[in-house]
Amino acid sequence: MNLSMWQQGWYRGAEKCESPNFGQRPQAAQIDLIVVHSISLPPGEFGNGAVQQLFTNQLDWEAHPYFQSIQGLEVSSHFFIERTGKVWQFVSCDQRAWHAGVSSYRGRSNCNDDAIGIELEGTDEQPFTDFQYERLQLVTQLLLVAYPALTPERITGHSDIAPGRKTDPGPCFDWSRYRQALLPAR
């Protein structure tokens, strides 16, 4: 893995789709956490571009009844991995994406300050695809090289930083498979 895959926090292997929903990280921030999420819009529907529209403030709130329940929401993530394995990037990893919301982990609140958010296209009730695990592993390994404070032990789910409020990536996400894939080859 080499650092030539990055340019100012942007992964060259991702489809770049800049979101206006980001900010500067606080001066004392240290990028040392990866948060795995899942999302589909409307829930359970895939491949329709709605997530990309949400993250870029272009979602037509009238296009589906569910969208009215999230109308006006301004959120983003650093990465979004479709079920096909296609990787999108919305915010430079050097910037603060708006993915965690009210959150706390290991004694620190406001996880957006120090975290990189990776959204998987999915739901709590459906398994993720092999393509998604492969791309998630690749992106994670590249992040571990590019941001030395990140370690495999500093990867968690949205449900862990916002318990009671969030459940993603959900029980169908195979943490063991993901963590095993990050281990060095013997």
What confidence tens digit (pLDDT) does each residue in 18-44 have?
Answer: 999 999 999 999 999 999 999 999 999
- Mean pLDDT along residues 163-182: 96
Residue 111: burial class (beta carbons within 10 Å; 0-12, 13-18, 19+): buried
Examine the residue annotation and report whether 121 is marked as an active-site residue of this protein: no
Token pair recorded at residue 122:
């999915």
User: Do residues 59 and 135 lie in contact, with contact meaning Cβ atoms separated by under 8 Å?
Assistant: no
Global confidence as pTM: 0.96
The crossing angle, in degrees rounded to 10, of helices 130-146 and 175-182 is 50
Q: Which of 18, 62, 74, 119 is catalytic?
A: 119
Domain 3-182 is found in CATH 3.40.80.10 = yes
Per-domain boundaries in the chain: 3-182
Query: 1 pLDDT exceeds 70?
Result: no
Reported in sequence order, the residue ranges of the chain that DSSP labels E, i.e. its strands, are 6-7, 10-11, 15-16, 22-23, 33-39, 79-81, 87-89, 96-97, 104-105, 108-109, 115-121, 155-157
pLDDT, tens digit, 9 for 90 and up, residues 124-161: 999 999 999 999 999 999 999 999 999 999 999 999 99
- State residue 184's pLDDT score: 77
**Is the dihedral angle over the CA atoms 184, 136, 76, 21 positive or is it negative?**
positive
